[in-house]
Amino acid sequence: METQSSPSASSPAARVVRVSGSQTKRCPECGQRTQLDSATCQQCEHVFQTRFVQFEETQLAATKLTSARAAQHPIQPTQHDRVAAGVLALFFGLFGMDGFYLGNTTMGLVSLVLFLVAMLLGVLSVLTLGVMLCVFVPFFGTLWLFTFARAIVYFASSDADFYRRYVIEQRWI
């Protein structure tokens, strides 16, 4: 198979790939066969991101699964930036701000409640002249490490992986 990338006349950001063999491609939304040079699907009017590409059956199944989950979720992928979520997790993750930003209010509330418990333990350690310090330090340190790990994972994820894991599936880490 010969491949060549070049900008398209209609869309400068579209990727054009020349392939040998079949002169049709499958639509990732409906599975309909379409001409290789088509920019949109004739049946469902899906706009192709790449022109002149063949889809394998496994790629088609994975695309249909992701598309079905995205269709059930009201938030579009462009509304949540993984870098913004990482910065929020790094600086305000103890308050659960990254969870609220991603629409995962359960994670945000649990993080906020655990932070308030940690602060209560900190106040108790001051009032008891350090007796509760042996409980406060490990508890607060664990919360901070968990928040720091979330930030690193957000930064290290690809955009598509980030959207699938943390916006659609609402994973915690």
User: Please, which pLDDT band fits residue 155 given cuts at 50, 70 and 90?
Assistant: very high
Same domain? For 67 and 83 the reply is no
Q: Is the pLDDT of residue 146 over 90?
A: yes
Could you list the beta-strand ranges (E) of 44-117. Answer: 50-51
For the chain, the first-to-last Cα distance in angstroms comes to: 39
- Residue 3 resides in a domain: no
State the Cα–Cα distance between residues 145 and 149, nearest whole angstrom.
Answer: 6
Domain termination residue (choose one: 54, 72, 90): 72
Model confidence pLDDT, tens digit, residues 7-36 = 444 444 444 444 445 567 778 888 888 777
Same domain? For 86 and 158 the reply is yes
Q: Is the pLDDT of residue 68 over 80?
A: no
Mean pLDDT, the chain, as a whole number? Answer: 77
pTM score, whole prediction:
0.54
Same domain? For 23 and 100 the reply is no
Same domain? For 59 and 142 the reply is no
Selected residue with higher pLDDT from 5 and 37: 37
What is the extent of the structural domain holding 19? 15-72
Q: Determine which helix (DSSP H) or strand (DSSP E) holds 25, and give its type and residue range.
A: strand 24-26
Q: Which of 162, 147, 1 is nearest to 82 (CA)?
A: 162
CB 144 within 8 A of CB 111: no
Total domains present in the chain? 2
Domain termination residue (choose one: 47, 72, 97): 72
- Residue 40 resides in a domain: yes
Report DSSP state, residue 167.
I
Same domain? For 23 and 90 the reply is no
- Residue 7 resides in a domain: no
Same domain? For 89 and 20 the reply is no
